[in-house]
Structure 1
Amino acid sequence: MKNLQVLWRLICYRPILYSAATILWILNVLTPLPMGLLVQHYLNELARTQQLTSGLQRLNWLALALILGSGLCALSSGVLGRLLRFSVAQLLRRNLLQRVLEQPGASAFSHTLGETLSRFRSDVEQFDRAVDWSIDAVGHILFALLALIVLLKVSVLVTVLIYLPLAGVVATTQAMYARLQRFRKSSRQASGNVASALGEIFGTVQAIQLARAEQAVVEHVRTLNKRRRVAMLKDRVVEQLVNSTVGNITGLGTGFVLMLVAQSLHTFQLGIGDLALFLYYLPFVADFSKFTGTFMAHLAQTRISHQRLLAISQGMSEGKLVEYHPLYLSSSLPEPHLEQARPDNGLQELSATNLTYRYPESGRGIDGINLRVRRGSITVITGRVASGKTTLLRVLLGLLPREVGEISWNGQKVHDPASFFVPPRSAYTAQIPHLFSATLKENILLDQPETQEALQAAVHAAVMEQDVEMLEHGLETTVGARGVKLSGGQVQRAAAARMFARSADLLVFDDLSSALDVTTEQQLWERLLARQSEEHPLTCLLVSHRRSVLQRADHILVLNEGRVEASGTAADLLLTSSEFRAIWSSETEEASVHKGDTV
């Protein structure tokens, strides 16, 4: 889909709004046409009568009415144009965000977060400005064509001279087209690099402080800013060079026409009103010439923004980028659809065969993993650091795209794990949980309807009731970005409460107890086991190396370099697997204490 086709699709997204804004703007832009004819008739009549007649006074009132009407149309068109720009921008951002959410969670962003946000902001704005400027273009083109017809009736030669600079404007813009694109691309890339670096710095402040690398980081940011300044300066210089060249061509052409008309007034046989008509239209025609060059330059830069938006969408079709969806700008959001558990599809057995995934950057990952989780069982995945434990969970849940392998739920193949493994089928707590800058209650419930009994049960199961009492506003306490106001253990237990609030068939933990002390972990498991019943047995799949967890497990998978080295119960593995014995012996009570709840 070409750049102009994308713009047309965006224009058609709000056809009534666009049409209303365009019509009002056209009425405003075309006001100089009748105004020029009034001036022509007024001066010609005044030269003939040599006095202010009643007819001329009526022309004065008519001119005032045109001016007031033009101002009202411009104001109304501006308001509608702003609403149109906002709608177009939010449609693009909505479709881009949907594409991000459709990707496997662990690889949703093809670029850094800072670079992605930069493109969501700056490159989308390039499009909404282009749509807005297209309204200006329609008005300017109509005025130029109608003015051409009027002026040709007065003098063909002078009209040709007035419109001649337009050819120079188009030629100049075309000559600079490649440079405009190249420098805009470099400018956007440099800005994205700065945004990316700042995002990474803000997310790793403690690591930078511990490494005493503050000065090096500051120098790195300075270097990136210098490169951005140079790139943006080149981009702006080329843009202003085009604009100034266009303006100079238009100005020189205007001056030439004025000199020629003044010296040859009698040759052209123009009356004083005819001359005034040319002089009145001249600035507007010159403005059209200048606008044409600027708009063409903007379209060249918009093409770069189009390519950059497609680049962060990871294979998103161009049609999807401008696909129409409601935005609910003035209406209530629809109620979220919460899938209800189906008794006939409750978990009986989850199996995975030959699961394989390798990270493109390193080639590491998992290879040929077979897994089976039965209803009411606790299955533990364990292994040393970088053995593939977290990767296995992510591939199973669809957070990473599997290269090979099959996943089945009760014997039925799961084709899209990312959309399948959600409540009420399964709930997941990541190794590093994500909390939002909202209240603790909002972080636990998210899209769930608020039920006081269920909320309190989830908090109790996560061993958080005492923590909630100590918080300033209890569950209504705002926890800050990423739960910064909570300790590491509180963050993990808040994420666990979020999982428990969903009453899922399968609970998936990725090293949940890594930030919990021994006593808290013991309480959590006791409360979890107490919640189960014959109708709702506890089914867990988790990553852990804790002895207390391994002892509870019905089945253990021992991973080593992305493969299953051994499997069985803890008692069996202690006898048969040297790898498991090494993991078992490395987990001491002292290590458990050091990983306790700390702020």
Structure 2
Amino acid sequence: MNKFMNVEELDPNNVDHDQSEKYPLVIENGTFSWGSHEAPILKNINLNLAQGTLVAVVGTVGSGKSSLISTFLGETDKLCGRINTKGDLAYVPQQAWIRNATLKENILFGKPFEKSLYHRVIEACALKPDIEMLPGGDQIEIGEKGINLSGGQKQRVSLARAVYYGADVYFLDDPLSAVDSHVGKHIFDNVLGPSGMLRKKTRVLVTHSITYLPEVDLIVVLKDGEVTEKGTYKELLEKKGAFADFLMQHLQEIGIENTSPEADGLIGIEDLQEKLTRAISRESGSTGDKISRHGSLKRNLSMDSCDSSSLKQMNSGSLRALYMDKEPEDISLLGEKSH
């Protein structure tokens, strides 16, 4: 408590809120750090994000993706430049924050209850099957830090809260990383994507997945705290720059290797697109296939109602496939040591 009370206060003048600005999100010649005496974490940032666009922020680990969102929220120190936001902001963090209240109260978050909107949000965020499965439905009391929800459930509740709020601008820090791929596709199609509930809102999506990049309006590539490229999916592929490097690294991580490099060491655009199609198919299908084999079982089992006789009929591989969106402490309930 003493350490918290003695840290430096955030400067409210870090971010301007000029409502006459053309773009809802603007950074001009911005350089930012986590403290006035710290080294810059973001350098020479210039961004003008238009109203109603879906912007994906990509890059390797430590490139500054989450820091860019923190900068828009005024949580970093501005060393130079200008930053402006317009309208109400909503933020969905990587680590979902859950109140010790009912699931419904976590979603409403003090806003008046609108039945039709509430049920649309529940459906879009893929929470309806969970609510039907949980004892007490949406009136279930959520324990401290969401202890009785899985990681995927907490993330979807956090997203549902932001969607129900109805902000003008949404900052989404990799919200689909904690959910199964088929659930992630449902959420993208019904919430984040071109035909989702937030289609008219400005959305900044930090993501490590290549699955949804062809459907976004703008891709911003970060490397070592700087914007190295920005453009559409097709434009960046044709440049064969930092974005292509990011994609190749992703392909190698999931086991699809570059087998036909060109003479200059860069993979051909047609070959890259073919490999990306395979990778996207693998990402969107692999988890879904596993889940489909256990679909009926998943509907009948919950973390609150697992009986030993049912679990004995499943091997550890099946359990991992079934509870792949559960947190380590949840899996430990099944008698396994998590790692």
Task: Using structure 1 for the length normalisation, give the TM-score.
Answer: 0.39
| 2:312 is aligned with 1:312 | no
1:486 equivalent to 2:149? Answer yes
Aligned to 1:444: 107
Task: Give the Cα separation in 2 of the matches to 1:583 and 1:367.
Answer: 20
Q: Report whether the alignment pairs 1:556 with 2:250.
A: no
Determine helix, strand or coil for the equivalent of 1:371: strand
Conserved? CA contact 1:347–1:409, under 8 Å: no
What one-letter code is carried by the residue in structure 1 that aligns with 2:113? E
The structure 2 residue matched to 1:358, chosen from 33, 37, 48, is 33
Q: SS at 1:515's partner residue?
A: coil
Q: Secondary structure at the match of 2:156?
A: helix
What is the identity percentage for the equivalent residue pairs of Structure 1 and Structure 2? 28
**Residues 545-574 of structure 1, C-alpha deviation per residue, up to 9 Å, x if partnerless?**
212221111111110110011111111212
Alignment of 1:132-281 (within 5 A): none
Cα 1:346–1:506, aligned 2, differ >3 Å: closer, same or farther?
A: farther
Letter of the structure 2 residue corresponding to residue 382 of structure 1: V
Query: What is aligned with 1:204?
Result: none
Which of the numbers 178, 181, 193 marks the counterpart of 1:518?
A: 181
TM-score, L = length of structure 2: 0.66
Q: Pick from 95, 113, 121 the counterpart of residue 458 of structure 1.
A: 121
Q: Distance in 2 between matches of 1:518 and 1:345?
A: 40
> Which of 133, 138, 147 is matched with 1:470 structurally?
133
2:57 alignment partner, one of 357, 381, 386: 381
Distance 1:497 1:394 in 2: 21
Query: Counterpart of 2:113 in 1: which secondary structure?
Result: coil
Tell me what 1:405 maps to: 81
TM-superposed deviation, 1:356: 1.8
Establish whether residue 583 from structure 1 lines up as the match of residue 242 from structure 2. no
CA distance in 1, matches of 2:210, 2:2: 38
Indicate the SS of the match to 2:221: strand
Partner of 1:260: none
- 8 Å CA contact 2:23–2:48 kept in 1: the answer is no
Native 8 Å contact 1:346 1:505 kept in 2: no
Q: State the one-letter code of the partner of 2:131.
A: V
Change over 3 Å in CA distance of 1:444–1:389 after alignment to 2: same
Match of 1:227 in 2: none
Residue 484 of structure 1 and its aligned partner are, at CA, apart by 1.7
Q: What is the alpha-carbon distance in structure 2 between the residues aligned to residue 574 and residue 478 of structure 1?
A: 48
Q: Of 496, 500, 506, which residue of structure 1 is paired with 2:159?
A: 496
Give the equivalent residue in structure 2 for 1:82. none
Identify the match of residue 371 of structure 1 among 47, 50, 62.
47
Matched, 1:391 2:67: yes
SS of the counterpart of 1:402?
strand
Taking the aligned partners of 2:142 and 2:21, their CA distance within structure 1 comes to 35
Q: Which has the higher contact order (CA 8 A, sep 6+)?
A: 2
RMSD (Å), alpha carbons? 2.9
Counterpart amino acid of residue 168 in structure 2: D
Deviations, residues 201-233 of structure 1 (Å, cap 9, x unaligned): xxxxxxxxxxxxxxxxxxxxxxxxxxxxxxxxx
SS class of match (2:141) = coil
CA distance in 1 between counterparts of 2:141 and 2:22 reads 36
Per the alignment, residue 539 of structure 1 pairs with: 202
Q: Which of residues 211, 220, 236 in structure 2 aligns to 1:573?
A: 236
Structure with higher helix content:
1
- Residue number in structure 1 paired with 2:98: 435
Contact 2:211-2:283 at 8 Å conserved across structures: no
Question: Offset of 1:591 from its aligned partner?
Answer: 6.6
For the 8 Å contact 2:33–2:77, the answer to whether it is kept is: no
Distance in 2 between the 1:541 and 1:483 partners?
A: 26
User: Which structure dedicates a bigger proportion of its chain to strand?
Assistant: 2
CA contact (8 A) 1:436 1:479 kept: yes
Judge conservation of contact 1:461–1:500 (CA < 8 Å) in 2. Answer: no
Structure 1 residues 558 and 577, CA, compared in 2 at 3 Å: closer, same or farther? farther
What displacement does 1:348 show? 5.1
2:325 counterpart residue number: 597
CA distance in 1, matches of 2:117, 2:218: 30
Distance in structure 2 (CA, Å) of the matches to 1:347 and 1:461: 31
Give the partner amino acid of 1:597: D
Q: Structure 1 471/375 Cα, relative in aligned 2: closer, same or farther at 3 Å?
A: same
Instruction: State the AA in 2 paired with 1:312.
Output: N
Q: Tell me, yes or no, if the aligned pair for 1:435 and 1:483 is still in contact at 8 Å.
A: yes
Q: Structure 2 vs 1, CA of residues 569 and 446 (structure 1 numbering), >3 Å: closer, same or farther? A: same
Residue 409 of structure 1 deviates from its aligned partner by: 4.4
How far apart in 2 are the matches of 1:525 and 1:551? Answer: 12
Shift of 1:368: 1.5
Distance 1:380 1:345, change over 3 A: same
